[in-house]
Amino acid sequence: MLGASGVIGQPMKLTVLLVEDDDDDYALVQELMVEIQDLDVNLIRASDYDTALKTLLDADVQACLVDFCIGSESGVEFVRRLKAIGCTLPMIILTGAEDSGVDQQALAAGAANFLDKSGLDAERLGRVLRYACSPSTCTDQACQNLPSVGMLTGAGGQAQATDMRVLLIEDDEDDYFLTKSLLADIFGRHLKMEWIASWQPALERALEGQHDVAIVDYRLGARNGLELVREAVHLGCCMPFIVLTGEGNREIDLEAMRAGATDYLVKGEITAPLLERSIRYAIERRKAERHLAELAQIDQLTGLANRYHFREFLDRSIAIADRQKSHVGLMLIDLNRFKAVNDTYGHAAGDLLLRDIASRLKDCVRPSDLVARLGGDEFTIVITDVDDKATLADTAERILAEMRKPVNIGSCDVDVGASIGIAHYPTDADCADSIIVSADTAMYAGKGQRSGSFHFYTPEMHRRAAYRIELERNLRRAIRQQQFELYFQPQVNLSTGRLIGFEALLRWNHPELGLVAPGEFIELAEESSLILPIGEWVLETTCAQLAAWRDAGHPEVHVAVNFSARQFQNAGILEFVRRTLARYDLDPRLLEIEITESDILQKPAEAYRLLTSFSELGIRVALDDFGTGYSSLNHLRAFPGAIIKIDRSFVRDVEFAQSSRAIVQSLIAMTHDLDLKVVAEGVETTAQLNYLQNHDCDIVQGFLISKPIPASAINAEIFNTRLLPKAFPLTEEVA
Ligand code: C2E
Ligand code: MG
Ligand code: MG
């Protein structure tokens, strides 16, 4: 029981003033007072408010029972007046059965409680008096010059720095009054209390994060207060919860802690010091927990949320969106040139860049959104409470505009650029995992496209991504099961009309799809590094084929092999090529290595160094698809090889476009000036052939002469006879 008298085991002595004009009601209260156990009440009566006021000033009264209505005067008004002059004496309003709506008026006026006289019994009256006069609410002086405490502060109540904002979630009025008076005693005028009696509104309010602490009844009507605590904590509520229970036992204690409550108190045992300690402890503990959690959730470099915090926040945002029928947006941001900056200028510059980008991203979103760094240059933003996709598009535009501005990394300014993949919940995903996958798919789909763009997820992207995954799996199997084959396309010397070599072109004999061209899988093989084992196989097979033709006594011709950038970045490639040639005892001049200009440009210095080494070994080096990339004369000058292959798009157009004719003509002239040989790719018509011959092209390759064919179809005739169309005069013959 509440320690009202301060002396445990002894009945509590109280002087109570009853303001009541009705004799019967007075008699009733008098009888009940006698019946109350544990209370020794000295009841004084005043029949009107003036007498009551005088009595209050003269006598040592500890509580006041005020009839709601004396004649034409209102008990509520009386309470309000007393409270207005600073009276802290607990006042309890007595109402009749017909006085509806008194409760709110009474509380608003500052009454400590109200009691319905009809059906009133000793037990209830005793309880209310005990609560009202517990040491925490009883003051020595009936009227002190203290401001009233315990006023309800609504949602809009402005809290001061020292204010204690308490959310009381309690469906029992008596317990409400008890707790309120204890709190009022502890925090005085700094108490800003809000009382909510039912589960759902209480949860909504708790989630708004406006209070310092919540005190929750274990029983809330048919529901359990712990369920509310659990739900609130799950939805990210950081406020500490103190649970009030009717009785205490170890099980409830454990259950409360597991639900996320900071403390639990047994109602009958609560005193002001106990409650105060519990509240202060709960708040401090939650603060410390939050600080620790923040440390564990922050990316130390940028101060943004880290991967763990991001995941928690996303889960929570989706749970809230489900409850509120709102939407969530997820953006994944890929910095286009971070790696280049890091590699070129060092890690310190990279760190500066990441910090700058982090603060720009933060400035682009609302405080309620979350910007996180997942690691490296991977950034992500969770946008909560999204209206529609158009809002997300606006935000993405804003971010891209920021990303376009140069970043100062100390010694200079660099351009980074970014691409963004966006997914929307619930349109594009049904859970946190799938929205991450969707945003990632959208970002991936945007890669390789114009830098500085954003892409919304579409189901089509998903199908493509799934196709790629399937393709990659199949490719791995193809390597294991040797489903690859090399086709060879003849290259013809325009001055002799004879075969001078082949280009080896990769084909995939897919068990179901049939023959698959490299356009379908080379790019993916490069991204997944599968190109390395494939490239080794191509080189090995080419060398084996060269040796086989040699052993069959065919005239020696070269075979050109396509290399990708990824293969060039492989440190052991030079040694591998050298050893393979040696194993088949081949003259290095029989091998040609083709690389495209754009592949060289990925790492020009390394590429040139490697190509020079190949040239020094005697291997022919060709620049493939010339004219489609940057095609600067400087690159051409620095090129360590001997052959330039003009891309087939120019060859195709020489018949129709003057511009293509001009380009081909000047390309040929330019390469000859640099002492390089020119191969024209994709020759399909005699008109093209004519043109190329008239402009001194050295070598041709194309369907007009032969499509790429398997080794089994290459016979002595191909090696030994003229391969140009019959009607076509040879350069030598023309000369
Ligand atoms: P590329 O190196 O430019 O090869 C020439 C492509 O043009 C070949 O396509 C060839 O079949 C095609 N072609 C040749 N003559 C004509 C013609 O007259 N008309 C038309 N329309 N096309 C013609 P393919 O075999 O589909 O190869 C495409 C690309 O795949 C190649 O372009 C090359 O970049 C790459 N590739 C092929 N094999 C390999 C390989 O073993 N390794 C690597 N890394 N890439 C390869
Ligand atoms: Mg090629
Ligand atoms: Mg080519």
For 182-219, the pLDDT digits (tens) are 998 899 888 999 999 989 999 999 988 889 999 999 98
Question: For residue 495, with 0-12 CB atoms within 10 Å meaning exposed, 13-18 middle and 19 or more buried, which class applies?
Answer: middle
Residue 708 has pLDDT above 90, yes or no: yes
- Which distant-in-sequence residues (6+ apart) come within 8 Å of 100 by Cβ? none
Confidence of residue 612 (pLDDT cuts 50, 70, 90): very high
Measured distance CA(730)–CA(714) in Å, rounded: 23
List pLDDT tens digits, range 247-260.
777 788 888 888 88
Atom of ligand 1 nearest to the CA of 703: 18
Phi-psi region of 675 (alpha: psi -120 to 50; beta: other; left: phi over 0): left
Q: Whose CA is nearest to atom 6 of ligand 1?
A: 682
Which ligand gives the minimal distance to the CA of 707? 1
Single pTM value for the model: 0.54
Residue 142 has pLDDT above 60, yes or no: no
Atom of ligand 1 nearest to the CA of 625: 3
The residue whose CB lies within 8 Å of the most ligand 1 atoms, and thus the one to mutate among 562, 573, 653, 692, is 562
Sign of CA dihedral 52, 53, 55, 60: positive
Q: Which of 190-194, 210-214, 362-366, 730-734 has the lowest mean pLDDT?
A: 730-734
Distance of CA 525 from the midpoint of ligand 1 (Å): 15
List pLDDT tens digits, range 67-114.
988 877 788 888 888 877 767 788 888 887 666 667 767 777 778 777
Q: Whose CA is nearest to atom 46 of ligand 1?
A: 562
Residue 174 has pLDDT above 50, yes or no: yes
List pLDDT tens digits, range 516-570.
999 989 988 988 889 999 999 999 999 999 999 999 999 999 999 999 998 988 8
Q: Which of 136-145, 559-568, 665-674, 714-723 has the lowest mean pLDDT?
A: 136-145
Neighbour count for residue 326 (Cβ, 10 Å): 15
E strand or H helix that includes residue 263: strand 263-266
Q: Whose CA is nearest to atom 27 of ligand 1?
A: 518
pLDDT > 90 in the chain, percent: 48
For helices 459-480 and 531-551, the axis angle rounded to 10 degrees is 40
Most confident of 209-213, 242-246, 619-623: 619-623
If you write DSSP's letter for every residue of 392-461 in order, what string do you get? Answer: HHHHHHHHHHHHHS-EE-SS-EE---EEEEEEEETTS-SSHHHHHHHHHHHHHHHTTS-SS-EEE--HHH
Neighbour count for residue 563 (Cβ, 10 Å): 25
N- to C-terminal Cα distance for the chain? 122
606 in helix, strand or coil?
A: helix
Q: Whose CA is nearest to atom 7 of ligand 1?
A: 682
Atom of ligand 1 nearest to the CA of 683: 18
Number of H helices, E strands in the chain: 28, 31
Provide the pLDDT for residue 735: 47
Distance of CA 624 from the midpoint of ligand 2 (Å): 6
The residue ranking higher by pLDDT, 634 or 236, is 236
Q: Which CATH architecture has domain 307-464?
A: 2-Layer Sandwich (3.30)
Distance of CA 491 from the midpoint of ligand 3 (Å): 12
- Which distant-in-sequence residues (6+ apart) come within 8 Å of 205 by Cβ? 155, 167, 194, 196, 211
Side chain identity at residue 629, one-letter code? G
Provide the pLDDT for residue 70: 80
Residue 446 has pLDDT above 50, yes or no: yes
Q: Whose CA is nearest to atom 20 of ligand 1?
A: 682
Atom of ligand 1 nearest to the CA of 708: 11
Distance of CA 611 from the midpoint of ligand 1 (Å): 21
Residue 146 has pLDDT above 50, yes or no: no
Confidence of residue 139 (pLDDT cuts 50, 70, 90): very low
Domain boundaries, the chain: 12-143, 161-295, 307-464, 528-704
Provide the pLDDT for residue 250: 77
Which ligand gives the minimal distance to the CA of 647? 3
**Which of the four CATH numbers 3.10.129.10, 3.40.50.2300, 3.30.200.20, 1.10.10.410 does domain 161-295 have?**
3.40.50.2300
Provide the pLDDT for residue 432: 94
- For 486-491, what is the mean pLDDT? 98
The residue ranking higher by pLDDT, 666 or 581, is 581
If you write DSSP's letter for every residue of 698-719 in order, what string do you get? Answer: -EE-STTT---EEGGG--HHHH
**Mean residue pLDDT across the chain:** 86
Residue 356 has pLDDT above 90, yes or no: yes
Provide the pLDDT for residue 58: 76
Q: Whose CA is nearest to atom 43 of ligand 1?
A: 562
Neighbour count for residue 165 (Cβ, 10 Å): 20
Distance of CA 449 from the midpoint of ligand 1 (Å): 22
Provide the pLDDT for residue 98: 66
Provide the pLDDT for residue 105: 76
Distance of CA 514 from the midpoint of ligand 2 (Å): 22
If you write DSSP's letter for every residue of 467-525 in order, what string do you get? Answer: HHHHHHHHHHHHHHTT-EEEEEEEEEETTT-SEEEEEEEEEEEETTTEEE-GGGTHHHH
Atom of ligand 1 nearest to the CA of 704: 18
Confidence of residue 732 (pLDDT cuts 50, 70, 90): low
Atom of ligand 1 nearest to the CA of 594: 2
The residue ranking higher by pLDDT, 556 or 49, is 556
Distance of CA 594 from the midpoint of ligand 2 (Å): 6
- For 580-589, what is the mean pLDDT? 97
Question: For residue 506, with 0-12 CB atoms within 10 Å meaning exposed, 13-18 middle and 19 or more buried, which class applies?
Answer: buried
241 in helix, strand or coil?
A: strand
Q: Which of 123-137, 306-320, 326-340 has the lowest mean pLDDT?
A: 123-137
Q: Whose CA is nearest to atom 33 of ligand 1?
A: 562
- For 43-72, what is the mean pLDDT? 85
Which ligand gives the minimal distance to the CA of 560? 2
Q: Which residues form the pocket of ligand 1, taking CB atoms under 6 Å from any ligand atom?
A: 489, 505-506, 517-519, 522, 538, 562-564, 594, 624-625, 648, 681-684, 702-703, 708
Measured distance CA(735)–CA(728) in Å, rounded: 13
Atom of ligand 1 nearest to the CA of 525: 44
Confidence of residue 450 (pLDDT cuts 50, 70, 90): low
Q: Estimate to the nearest angstrom the gap between the alpha carbon of 553 and the chain centroid.
A: 65
Which ligand gives the minimal distance to the CA of 489? 1
- Which distant-in-sequence residues (6+ apart) come within 8 Å of 206 by Cβ? 167, 169, 214, 228, 232, 237, 239
Q: Which of 272-286, 351-365, 447-461, 522-536 has the lowest mean pLDDT?
A: 447-461
Distance of CA 116 from the midpoint of ligand 1 (Å): 95
Provide the pLDDT for residue 646: 93
Distance of CA 386 from the midpoint of ligand 1 (Å): 47
Provide the pLDDT for residue 8: 42
Distance of CA 595 from the midpoint of ligand 2 (Å): 7
- The answer to whether the 161-295 and 307-464 domains have the same CATH topology is no
Provide the pLDDT for residue 149: 27
Provide the pLDDT for residue 242: 94
Measured distance CA(319)–CA(465) in Å, rounded: 28
Question: For residue 10, with 0-12 CB atoms within 10 Å meaning exposed, 13-18 middle and 19 or more buried, which class applies?
Answer: exposed
Atom of ligand 1 nearest to the CA of 684: 18
For helices 573-583 and 531-551, the axis angle rounded to 10 degrees is 20
Confidence of residue 152 (pLDDT cuts 50, 70, 90): very low
Provide the pLDDT for residue 153: 29
Q: Whose CA is nearest to atom 4 of ligand 1?
A: 505
Residue 651 in contact with residue 702, Cβ under 8 Å? yes
528-704 has CATH 3.60.70.12 classification: no
Residue 224 in contact with residue 232, Cβ under 8 Å? no
Residue 145 has pLDDT above 50, yes or no: no
Measured distance CA(167)–CA(477) in Å, rounded: 63
Distance of CA 623 from the midpoint of ligand 3 (Å): 9
Residue owning tokens 């989706």 = 318
Provide the pLDDT for residue 4: 36
Provide the pLDDT for residue 733: 55
Residue 638 has pLDDT above 50, yes or no: yes
| Maximum pairwise Cα distance, the chain | 140
Atom of ligand 1 nearest to the CA of 506: 38
12-143: what fold?
Rossmann fold (3.40.50)
Residue 232 has pLDDT above 50, yes or no: yes
Residue 457 CA neighbour count, 13 Å, CB half = 24
Residue 604 has pLDDT above 50, yes or no: yes
Q: Whose CA is nearest to atom 21 of ligand 1?
A: 682
Instruction: Using alpha carbons, select from 374, 526, 385, 387 the residue that is nearest to residue 439.
Output: 374
Instruction: Using alpha carbons, select from 679, 600, 691 the residue that is nearest to residue 646.
Output: 679
- For 23-49, what is the mean pLDDT? 88
Measured distance CA(495)–CA(699) in Å, rounded: 8
User: How are the residues of the chain apportioned to helix, strand and coil, as percentages rounded to the nearest 5?
Assistant: 45, 20, 30
Distance of CA 446 from the midpoint of ligand 3 (Å): 26
Which ligand gives the minimal distance to the CA of 540? 1
For helices 347-364 and 338-345, the axis angle rounded to 10 degrees is 150
List pLDDT tens digits, range 489-526.
999 999 999 999 999 999 999 988 899 999 989 988 98
Distance of CA 626 from the midpoint of ligand 3 (Å): 8
Which ligand gives the minimal distance to the CA of 504? 1
Provide the pLDDT for residue 705: 96
Sign of CA dihedral 308, 311, 313, 319: negative
